[in-house]
Homo-oligomer: A and B are copies of this chain.
Amino acid sequence: MKATVTVMLKTGVLDPQGEAVKSALGALGFAGVDAVRQGKVIELDLEETDAAAAEAAVTEMCDKLLANTVIESYRIEIA
Protein backbone atom coordinates (compact mmCIF):
# COMPACT_ATOMS: atom_id res chain seq x y z
CA MET A 1 0.00 0.00 0.00
CA LYS A 2 1.01 3.60 -0.41
CA ALA A 3 0.82 5.97 2.52
CA THR A 4 1.15 9.73 2.33
CA VAL A 5 2.02 11.56 5.51
CA THR A 6 1.68 15.34 5.66
CA VAL A 7 3.45 17.00 8.57
CA MET A 8 2.70 20.66 9.35
CA LEU A 9 3.69 22.90 12.21
CA LYS A 10 0.81 23.30 14.64
CA THR A 11 -1.23 26.49 14.54
CA GLY A 12 0.49 29.13 16.64
CA VAL A 13 3.97 27.74 16.13
CA LEU A 14 6.12 30.25 14.26
CA ASP A 15 6.88 29.03 10.72
CA PRO A 16 10.01 30.84 9.46
CA GLN A 17 10.05 28.87 6.19
CA GLY A 18 6.49 29.92 5.44
CA GLU A 19 7.27 33.54 6.32
CA ALA A 20 10.31 33.47 4.03
CA VAL A 21 8.22 32.11 1.16
CA LYS A 22 5.59 34.80 1.78
CA SER A 23 8.23 37.56 1.69
CA ALA A 24 9.82 36.14 -1.44
CA LEU A 25 6.45 35.95 -3.21
CA GLY A 26 5.83 39.58 -2.28
CA ALA A 27 9.26 40.56 -3.61
CA LEU A 28 8.45 38.79 -6.89
CA GLY A 29 5.30 40.87 -7.26
CA PHE A 30 2.66 38.34 -6.23
CA ALA A 31 0.05 40.33 -4.32
CA GLY A 32 -2.85 38.96 -2.32
CA VAL A 33 -1.00 36.22 -0.43
CA ASP A 34 -2.27 36.46 3.14
CA ALA A 35 -0.43 33.59 4.76
CA VAL A 36 1.95 30.79 3.88
CA ARG A 37 2.70 27.66 5.90
CA GLN A 38 5.29 25.14 4.80
CA GLY A 39 5.41 21.53 5.87
CA LYS A 40 6.71 18.25 4.61
CA VAL A 41 5.17 15.31 2.87
CA ILE A 42 6.48 11.77 3.10
CA GLU A 43 5.35 9.07 0.68
CA LEU A 44 5.87 5.51 1.84
CA ASP A 45 5.55 2.30 -0.17
CA LEU A 46 4.55 -0.41 2.29
CA GLU A 47 4.44 -4.18 1.86
CA GLU A 48 1.41 -4.32 4.18
CA THR A 49 -1.79 -4.99 2.23
CA ASP A 50 -4.35 -4.29 4.95
CA ALA A 51 -5.33 -0.61 5.12
CA ALA A 52 -6.07 -0.56 8.85
CA ALA A 53 -2.78 -2.29 9.71
CA ALA A 54 -0.90 0.04 7.38
CA GLU A 55 -2.47 3.09 9.02
CA ALA A 56 -1.61 1.79 12.49
CA ALA A 57 2.00 1.20 11.44
CA VAL A 58 2.32 4.63 9.84
CA THR A 59 0.80 6.30 12.92
CA GLU A 60 3.50 4.66 15.02
CA MET A 61 6.16 5.78 12.52
CA CYS A 62 4.86 9.35 12.79
CA ASP A 63 4.87 9.35 16.58
CA LYS A 64 8.34 7.83 16.78
CA LEU A 65 10.18 9.45 13.88
CA LEU A 66 8.37 11.38 11.20
CA ALA A 67 6.79 14.16 13.23
CA ASN A 68 7.80 16.08 16.31
CA THR A 69 4.41 15.95 17.97
CA VAL A 70 5.30 18.75 20.40
CA ILE A 71 5.18 21.30 17.59
CA GLU A 72 3.92 19.38 14.55
CA SER A 73 0.68 17.71 13.61
CA TYR A 74 0.37 15.02 10.96
CA ARG A 75 -2.25 13.63 8.62
CA ILE A 76 -2.11 10.15 7.08
CA GLU A 77 -3.70 9.06 3.82
CA ILE A 78 -3.62 5.41 2.84
CA ALA A 79 -4.18 4.51 -0.82
Task: Give which listed residue, B33, B42, B44, B61, contacts A45 with CB less than 8 A.
Answer: B33
Question: Are B64's CB and A28's CB within 8 A?
Answer: yes
User: What are the nearest 3 A-B pairs in CB distance?
Assistant: A32-B47, A34-B45, A35-B45
Question: Are B64's CB and A21's CB within 8 A?
Answer: no
Task: Give which listed residue, B32, B43, B48, contacts A37 with CB less than 8 A.
Answer: B43
**Size class of A's contact patch?**
20 to 34
**In the complex, what distance in Å separates the CA atom of A40 from the CA atom of B42?**
8
By a CB distance below 8 angstroms, the chain B residues around A68 are: none
CB distance from A65 to the nearest CB of B (A): 6
By a CB distance below 8 angstroms, the chain B residues around A71 are: none
